[in-house]
Amino acid sequence: MARKIVITSGKGGVGKTTTVANLGSFLAKFNYRVALMDLDIGLNNLDVVMGLENKVVYDLVDVVNNRCRARQALIQDATIPSLYVMPSAHTNVKITKEQLKVVIENLDPYFDFILFDCPAGIEEGFHRAVAFSDEAIVVVTPHISSIRDADKVLSILSSYGLSDVNVLINRVRGDLIVNKEMLSVEDIHYLLKSKIIGAIPEDDNIGTLSSLGGSLTGKGDATRAFYLLATNVIDGTHKIFDCTLNYRGILGSVRRHLKKKV
Ligand SMILES: Nc1ncnc2c1ncn2[C@@H]1O[C@H](COP(=O)(O)OP(=O)(O)O)[C@@H](O)[C@H]1O
Ligand SMILES: [Mg+2]
Taking only the tens place, the pLDDT of each residue in 106-143 is 999 999 999 999 999 899 999 999 999 999 999 999 99
Among 20-24, 28-32, 221-225, 258-262, which is the least confidently predicted range? 258-262
Rounded Cα–Cα distance for residues 120 and 117 (Å): 9
Residue 250, pLDDT above cutoff 90: no
Closest-approaching ligand to the CA atom of 207:
1
User: pLDDT at position 44, please?
Assistant: 78
Instruction: Decide: 118 in ligand 1 pocket, CB within 6 A.
Output: no
Rounded Cα–Cα distance for residues 134 and 115 (Å): 10
Taking the C-alpha atoms of 84, 89, 93 and 98 in order, what is their torsion angle to the nearest 10 degrees? -10
Q: What SS3 class is residue 237?
A: coil
Q: DSSP character for 119?
A: P
C-alpha closest to that of 150 among 160, 137, 159: 137
CATH number of 3-261: 3.40.50.300
**Please, what is the angle between helix 204-212 and helix 16-29, to 10°?**
90
Question: Per-residue pLDDT averaged across 67-88, rounded?
Answer: 95
- In this prediction, residue 262 has a pLDDT band, given cuts at 50, 70 and 90, of low
Nearest ligand 1 atom to alpha carbon 170:
1
User: pLDDT at position 172, please?
Assistant: 97
Contact 219, 13 (CB under 8 A): no
Cα 18 to averaged position of ligand 2 atoms, centre (Å): 7
Q: Where are the domains of the chain?
A: 3-261
Instruction: Decide: 15 in ligand 1 pocket, CB within 6 A.
Output: yes
Cα 9 to averaged position of ligand 2 atoms, centre (Å): 10
Instruction: Decide: 14 in ligand 1 pocket, CB within 6 A.
Output: yes
- In this prediction, residue 17 has a pLDDT band, given cuts at 50, 70 and 90, of very high
Contact 33, 164 (CB under 8 A): no
